[in-house]
Structures are given as C-alpha cells and as structure tokens.
Chain A
Amino acid sequence: MGSRRQFLKTTALGLGGLSVGFSALAYITDFSGLKEATGDMKINLTRTPTYCEICFWKCAGWVYKREDGSIWKITGNDEDQHSNGRFCPRGTGGVGIYNDTDRLKTPLIRIGERGEHKFREASWEEALDLIAEKMKSIASDYGPESVALMNHGSGGKYFGDLLKAYGSTNIAAPSYAQCRGPREVAFINTFGEAIESPERTDIRDTKCLVLIGSHIGENMHNGQVQEMSDAIDKGAAIITVDPRFSVAASKSKYWLPIKPATDLALLLSWINVLTTENWIDKDYVEKNTYGYDLLKAHVSSMTPEWAYGITGIQPDVIRKTAKEMFNVSPAVIIHPGRHVTWYGDDTQRLRAVAILNALLGSWGRRGGFYNPSTSVLPSYPHPPFPTPKTTWRDAFPGQFHLADESVSSKICDATIPAELRDFSFKAWLVYGTNLIMTFPDQAKTIEAIKHLDLMVAIDTMPMEITSWADVVLPECTYLERYDSIRVSPHRKPSIALRMPAFEPKDNTKSAYWMARELASRLGLLEFFPFEKLEDYLDWQLRQMGSSLEEMQKIGVKTFEREADDLYFTPGEQHEFSTPTGKIELYSTAFADEGFDPVPVYTPHPEPPSGFYRLNYGRAPMHTFSRTSNNPNLNDLMDENSLWVNPKVAKEWGLTHNQPVWLQNQDGKKSNFSIKVRITERIRWDSVYMVHGFGHATKQLSRTYGKGVSDTELITNVMTDPIMGGTGMRGNFVTFLTEKPEEALS
C-alpha cells in the first residue's frame, strides 16, 4: 500500500501543476465587432475537453463556458477522428442536457406503487445503504448471479465492474439484442470479426455505398454522415434499399423502394447475379473464402425475376445495381446497418450482406471495410473477479450459443419465473437505458420488473424506467464528470478525455462514485483502488505516455498504427478467425448449431386489411427517448408525426396535422395521439414515425404526452433464433380518429 500512497502524492503534485495549465486555457477574445450585432457578449472563454454522450458515436469536443460560468456551446475537436471537429445536432445541443430543469436532483426511494413515480427524497447514505443491504441479502438468498445489470452508457462500466466483483456477469446492453447484435454475429461467422462501433466502413473512399435500410443522414452517427457526404462529393454511387424515401434515398443514384420485410430475397438475388455473371473478385474469393460453390448452387434459382415477385424491385434494376457494385469493387460497401433487429431472421439477412461484401472483395480493402486499430488501456491490477456459478445462458439451455454478448431481453424473460427453470433474476441495476421505451413488448418488461426484489435506476432524467425503480440514483451529466478514457476502434488508434466542465448540479454524482460507494458497502473496495476516477485516469494515461494534464489541454491524442495494415496487402491470403480460417460463405458454425449455413428466404406476414406496417426510425436531431425533453433539441422538433401515404389518407379521410390514435394488431392502443403528416415519402402499406416520443412520464415537462411511442405498439416480437435479437418490425397499426377511453390524452 506504501507505494500506492507514494503514487497518489505524485498525482497530487501533478494536479497542482494542473491548475496552472488550466488557467492558461482561459483567454479573452476580442468581440468588439460583435457588440453591434448581438448586444452584449463580452465573454471570457474557458474550454474543457469532453466526448459526447448524447449517442454512442462518442465524438470528442470542447465545452465552452461564458464568463458567468454558464454553458455557452459545445463544438467538435479537430483532432478527433469521430467528429473531425464537427458535432452533430444532438452533440451541439448537448448544452440542453445540462440546463434541463427537469433533471433528477437527488436520490429517490419509492413510496408509491411501482410505475407510479411516487418517491421520497433520500440522502446518498440512505439510498446506497438500502441498495447494498438488499444486494447482500439477495446474494445470500439466491446467489449474486441473480442480479443483472442493464446498461447503455459510459458509466455502465463501473457498475459492470461492481457486478463482476460481486459475482455476476449478467451484464447486458440494449445495443446488442435490440440493435446491432445480428450484424455482429453474422460478420463474426463470416469474417471472424465483428463490425463494432464506430463501424469500420471505409465510406470516405468508397465508390459505391449500398444502404439496406440504414438511413444515414437521419441516423446521425457523425462520422458516417460526414463520410457519406465526402463520398457524394467524390461522385460515389449510392444505392439505397428502403421502403421509405429516406434522406439517403434522395441522395442515391438508385433508390430501390422495396416491399418491407423482403430484403433477404433481394440480397440473395444479388448474390445470384454476381455468381452467375461471375461479377466477383475472383482472386480474393479463391484465396480467402470457404464454400463458394455451395453458395453458388444454393442461390442458383434465386434470380432477379424470382426476387421481383417478392420485393417489387424490377429485375433489370437488380442486375444494373449488381453491375454497379461490381464495376467499382472492391471499393464498394454493402453497409451492414446498425439497428438491424427487424424480422427475426436478421442474422441471416446480415449474413447475406456479409457474403455480398466477401464476393466483391471489399472486406479489408480501401473503399470497403478497413481494419480498425484501437488503443489499449492499461488496467490497474486488482484481485481476480469471482467466477459466477450461473449466467443468463443457463436459463436457455441449448440456445443462443452464437450470441457473443449478453441478451438483454433474455435476461428480462428470465426474470419472470417459469416452471421449467429453477432460476430467475431478482434484481436489476439499470444504468442509462430507458428499458420501458427500449425493449419491445412493454407489458413483458413491466411484468418482469414486478417480479424483482430490487430495481435500481441510475439515470440523469426522470424517465419511464425511473418510475419503475425502487431506488433512483441521479447521475450528473457527462458535462459534469470524468469517465473512462475513450478508446474506440478507428483508422488510427486514439484516446480521448472527458472531464467535468462544471460541478455536478444539485445532489447528483458520477457513476464511478456511486459504484465505488456501493463497493465499499459490499466489502469490494479492493476492486476500486482509486478514490477519485481522475487519479485512475492519470495513472492509465501515464502508462500510455500521456497524462491527465496533457489530455486536459488537448482532449484527443491520436497515435500512429503499429503496422501499415489498414487494408490487406494486394494478393494477401489472410488468416480469418473463423473455424475454417477463411471467410465463410458457408457458415460451419451455423451448420453445427442447426441453422441454415447459407441464408434462406422465408416470407413474413403482411398487414391485414385496414392495418399498416409500423415503420420507425431516427430523426437527426434526437437520440432515442433521451433527448426529446432536451430544451435545445426539443426546440428543433417537439413531437413525432405519423407519415401516411396520400392514398391512405384519402381512404381514411385524414387531413394534414390531424391527431390520430393508433391501435395495433393485438388491440394495443397508443397512450397519446400523433399528428398525421401526409407524404409521398412513405408507402401505402406502411406508416412511419420517429422513435423516442410519446413519453408518459409527467416529470418530463416539455415532452410529456407529445407524439406516440412506437415501442408501446410493438407487441409482436420476432426473436432471432440464432442470437436472441428482438425483431420489431412485424407490427401493424390502424388509425383511431376518436380518442379511445384508455388514452392518457
């Protein structure tokens, strides 16, 4: 311990030096020219580095303050590969998350029924003691494995560490089974590697970008949007497959207005065209792939004519677009998408995507998929984590072997006691995920929560999820705390620092502090050797040849790659981490698990008459349900609207902006109404809305009752048998022009 104390002393010295470096950051700018325009804006600027937490692209940037200490603006860090100095609207609007007066202010302990959002204010001591006591008794009654962590966000790491130290590895994020899980499994079982975030797509240098539903431009993942724009500048051809006329579709050379749920047929027919016409990267395929002949035989009947009957896409368009891809290969990307949990056969659809890329030789090639590089963060030695006796997988014997991460929705399922299972979850820690809006089938989520002995929500805002918690722990926003050093895969390895620009408002604390306090109460402090996170960060940074002080000044540090391996070298025969060591066009692992080793198209149900497929997506200025109450972003868009094709509107006599309620195939009605937008951008068999609205939490003063939540209408979940993803696009809705009795407003 002596050496540690010694170390802390040096850190303290370092921190002393810090204040000097810090004041050097404060400078006064000449605003004399401005006075005339904007009145009084004599501002003394200070800027602090951060990386953005409004979504998971994690752009690094700067937080600027005014002289009076209030927040002025947030901009990108030029050095940062994720943002290239430019934030997206949500990141720019991050100022609102700090200013939102609806924020959680102090720990809360439930006094009402679950879901009622009736709490009393509590001290941190009391709230943490209560949680620790409960966790202790659950550990002794049911074993620590019956506690799960659902998390989505930077601070989740510390609760993860806490849980692992406590004895549970049931740590899941909605970014897997509700999001990119199928694509990772598909790519792992094709190329031996996952796509990861940020995506390794070399859009910047591509000559042909094929988007299967990915609505980049509305999906505002910064780097991709920027690179797509660069690609447009350079004349790249974009091919967008989307039943809706997305923004990306409008920028495309080819828009394929596909019939929803039929993408796999289109993909297979593309494979058919490429293999029959021999429009493939022969050398690459020969050297690197496994199962080409099996694949070719498998798709031989899946001609464009066959696909036309299913997808509605003209055979000549299928051929032309296939040629377009081949012509520029390997600088072509059949984009793997990100939120891909659509119809339950998603892993197979993404396998077809992976196979197309393999045939065109785009994996590991310029303009295709680059080989990312990541900085490695040293971790301070601590005792090994205990080995848990059970995991969530034990609740589903024989299933989901290929899932490479925990399946959040399966943990939810396994929380509801079942006869055939001797194990169910007793407690959830929920960090930074609004599960009520995030998981499909709300009734099931709520039923699961009702079976819990303890439910803790760690959040920054009063949200649907916090109203179901027993204890609510208010976290300060990302602008008020340190978090782990950002190390994300990219073209070059890099690190980025998030540091507080402000003191935490009210009685809020950082996740690190909370997790460590709980660890201390559970006797697990040895897993959290540093009292202050910044000391840990400084230790890590020093191992990497930097320091906290340096990072506070520069925010981002980029390193050179160790080897020149961003792309494969020409003619390289690469060793892939698959069972065969090759790119598996035919998946041996799938075959072993009893799944189709090459994708097979199966039709999906269509909307019954009078019903329309519920399509949903992103608005560029909002992230899921987390930003709709953000004052700045709410100002840009304060409710979602229901896109209805003019033909449908005419049939129903709907007028522009008319409020309607919705009812789905299972009779589930929307809580609130949504305004109709009559637009040609949506098909006649579907309606469309932006996810994240229709909040039913009254404490969200700006967004309560505004618009409709897609989630509440997604009751039919099509589970992916391979990895447990929750297919959410098989729901159909009809219009209610009169307010239903049970509606909230």
Chain B
Amino acid sequence: MREELIISGRMNASIDPQLTIWAWEIPLYLFLGGLAAGILFFAGLYTILGKEKEFPSAIEKTPMVVPFLLVIGLLALFADLNHKMYFWRLYTTIRLESPMSWGAWVLMVVTPVSFIWAAIHLKKSFPKWKWPYAWLDTTEAFFISHKKILAWIMVIYSLILGIYTGILFSAFNARPLWNTSILGPLFLTSGLSTGAALNIIMAKSQKERHSFSKIDLMLIGIELFLIIHIFMGFLASTQVQIDAANLFLGGPYTAPFWILVVFFGMILPGILEFLELRNYKIPVLIPALLVIAGGLLFRFIWTFAGQASRWLY
C-alpha cells in the first residue's frame, strides 16, 4: 500500500484537501463572456455579410443584452478578487503571458463596443427613444456610418474573447484537466452555441430561428467532437491527465457531466432542434434554454473538476 499524506501545515481551507480557490464567480464570468462573444460574433458577422434583413434579431435585438451580460460578468470577476481595493492594478500593466491580463484588456475593448452597438440599435427596439443631448445624436450617427468597422471589431474581439474563456484555463499547466489546447476552441464553440441559442429565443421570424437552429446543431456537433478529442487526448497522455479524465470517466463528475452537460445540454437539445427543423411541434424555448443551461453548467463543472485535478508527486 502507498500512503501519501500531509501531516501538518496546508490547513488552508481553500487549498486542501482540494483547491477551491475559484468558486461560482469565475465560471459565471466565463459563461457570460462566452455567451456575449457568441451574440456579438453573430451580430458582427451578419452585418459584415450584409444580412441585416435576414437576421434582424441577431443584429439589433439580442446584442441589447450583451452590455448587461458583460457587466454582470465583470461584477462576478470583481467578486472573485480577494484584494478588491487594488482592482485598478489590472490596468496599470499589460502582461502578455497572463490570460487574466489579456481577458481584462479584451473586455476593455469589447465592453464599450457592446455598449455602442446596443446604443445605435436602441431606437430599433424603442422607437420613442430620444438622446438627451445633441452631441449624442452626432455620435450615434458617426457610429452608424462606421457600423461595418464596428462589426469587424466585434467579430475579431468576440473570437478572442470566446477563445480566452478557454485559454484562461488551458494556460494552467498545474491543473491537468485544464491543460489542453482544445479547451480554447471548445469554450469558443460552446460560447457560440449559447449565443445561437439565445438568438433562437429572440428571433421573431421562423426563418431566422431555423437558421440559428441549424447553426446550433452544427456547433453542438463540433462540441461533441472536441469533447471526445479532449478525452482521447487525456487518455493517451500521462498518468496525471488520465487521472484528470477519470474524474469524468467513473469519477465524481461522471454523472453531472455526461448526463447534464452532454446529454441534456447538447444531445437532447440537438435532437429537439433537429425535430423542430423537421417541423415537429416543439416549443423552441426548450432546446435553447437547455443549451444555455448546459453551457453554464459546463463552465461550473470544468472549473471545479479542474481544481480537483492535480499532479502527483
């Protein structure tokens, strides 16, 4: 028998017996970031493609929620900080090697853009809206005329933001479960998928809705593919990564992950969306909400399981 135990010290509750330094704040932050990225991506993409007519909700309405998502996300991040008074230190330096720093700066760009985007579409949703000052009208006009540029910024930065939500984890060599390059694309895909799902809910026309259902089906397919690849990668790797994978293959996270995230958050909504596309009467809200809930749970599970995975020595 091999026994390994800490006989003294390390009584810090957030470190032992299992790292719990990141609780609900970080996964929520990552989820909201991913969702926001998904929404902005589609809004930007269809603007660039000149498909304002086909995707009015995705371009004009859904992005209205993004400023809220990002603000809540930032509040969650702020809540995670233990030394809050020093929050501003994030913006006194750019640290290219630190995903946290990266994220802070990306959000520095994305958040104002999302506000501007929401603002220039405000009148579409609230026709009676009037800006209190004339210079705001001028500003609005300026941004409307440069909408394509904004759209390009949105597409690029939303992709960065989406990938960042995964890279924040994958940069941590110390946590074998997180330490895989697939996590960036996977979290990006998941973010796009939740964005598409929200667009399904917001869409007025069946056409727009069906377009996003198709997109979502495809994204779910990619997600499942990436998930399988992550686990194949782990199992083909070192013992620590095999151990990490085993958290999901018989370990404590097996049921929550495979049943709640993969089945209820991907496969089932996929089937429902597919059936809906085949004109079965299915309330679209159900698969869309399942995808969003699945995406949220995915972040939580990956955050906690990652902290449970460790090097052995």
Contacts and interface: CB of A to CB of B under 8 A. Distances in A.
Are A and B in contact, CB atoms below 8 Å, in the complex? Answer: yes
Contacts of B8: 621, 636-637
B9 interface: yes
B6 to A, nearest CB: 11
Nearest to B7: A637
A646 interface: yes
B161 to A, nearest CB: 34
B1 A680 contact: yes
Residue with the greatest number of chain A CB neighbours at <10 A, chosen from B8, B9, B11 = B8
A635 interface: yes
B86 to A, nearest CB: 13
A11 interface: no
A679 interface: yes
Nearest to B9: A636
Contacts of A646: 1
Nearest to A633: B8
Interface in A640-693: 646, 678-680
Nearest to A645: B1
Contacts of B1: 646, 678-680
A678 B9 CA distance: 21
Contact of B3 (A635, A636, A637, A680): A680
Interface in A618-640: 621, 635-637
B9 to A, nearest CB: 7
A428 to B, nearest CB: 37
Interface in B204-238: none
Q: Determine the interface band of chain B, counting residues with CB < 8 A from chain A.
A: under 10
A679 B4 CA distance: 10
A636 B11 CA distance: 8
B11 to A, nearest CB: 6
A636 B7 CA distance: 8
A517 B169 CA distance: 69
B129 to A, nearest CB: 51
Contacts of B3: 678-680
Interface residues of A, number: 8
Contacts, number: 13
A136 to B, nearest CB: 50
Contacts of A637: 7-8
Nearest to A646: B1
Interface string A594-637: 00000000000000000000000000010000000000000111
A646 B11 CA distance: 26
Interface in B1-20: 1, 3, 7-9, 11
A642 to B, nearest CB: 15
A236 B66 CA distance: 72
A680 B3 CA distance: 9
B305 to A, nearest CB: 22
Contacts of A621: 8
A678 to B, nearest CB: 8
Interface string B142-154: 0000000000000
B188 to A, nearest CB: 39
Nearest to A635: B11
A637 B10 CA distance: 11
Contacts of A635: 11
A680 B1 CA distance: 7
A658 B1 CA distance: 18
A645 to B, nearest CB: 10
B8 to A, nearest CB: 4
Nearest to B11: A635
Nearest to B3: A679
A250 to B, nearest CB: 13
A101 to B, nearest CB: 19
Contacts of B7: 637
Nearest to B5: A677
Contacts of B9: 636
Contacts of A679: 1, 3
A680 to B, nearest CB: 5
A210 B9 CA distance: 32
A678 B7 CA distance: 14
A82 to B, nearest CB: 24
Nearest to B2: A680
A621 B11 CA distance: 15
B222 to A, nearest CB: 42
B182 to A, nearest CB: 35
A679 B7 CA distance: 13
A450 B8 CA distance: 40
Contacts of A680: 1, 3
A636 to B, nearest CB: 4
A636 B8 CA distance: 5
B313 to A, nearest CB: 19
A330 B8 CA distance: 39
B210 to A, nearest CB: 55
A635 B8 CA distance: 8
A636 B10 CA distance: 9
A678 B1 CA distance: 10
A635 B11 CA distance: 8
A488 to B, nearest CB: 29
B83 to A, nearest CB: 11
A636 B6 CA distance: 10
A630 to B, nearest CB: 14
A678 B2 CA distance: 11
Interface in A399-441: none
A637 B8 CA distance: 6
A633 to B, nearest CB: 10
A723 to B, nearest CB: 36
A654 to B, nearest CB: 14
A509 B11 CA distance: 35
A679 B5 CA distance: 11
A363 to B, nearest CB: 37
A678 B11 CA distance: 21
Contacts of A636: 8-9
A17 to B, nearest CB: 45
B146 to A, nearest CB: 47
Contacts of B11: 635
A646 B2 CA distance: 11
A629 B297 CA distance: 43
B89 to A, nearest CB: 15
B95 to A, nearest CB: 19
B117 to A, nearest CB: 43
The 3 closest A-B pairs by CB, nearest first: A636-B8, A680-B1, A646-B1
Interface of A: 621, 635-637, 646, 678-680
Interface of B: 1, 3, 7-9, 11
13 contacts: A621-B8, A635-B11, A636-B8, A636-B9, A637-B7, A637-B8, A646-B1, A678-B1, A678-B3, A679-B1, A679-B3, A680-B1, A680-B3
Given A637-B8, A646-B1, A679-B3, 10 more contacts: A621-B8, A635-B11, A636-B8, A636-B9, A637-B7, A678-B1, A678-B3, A679-B1, A680-B1, A680-B3
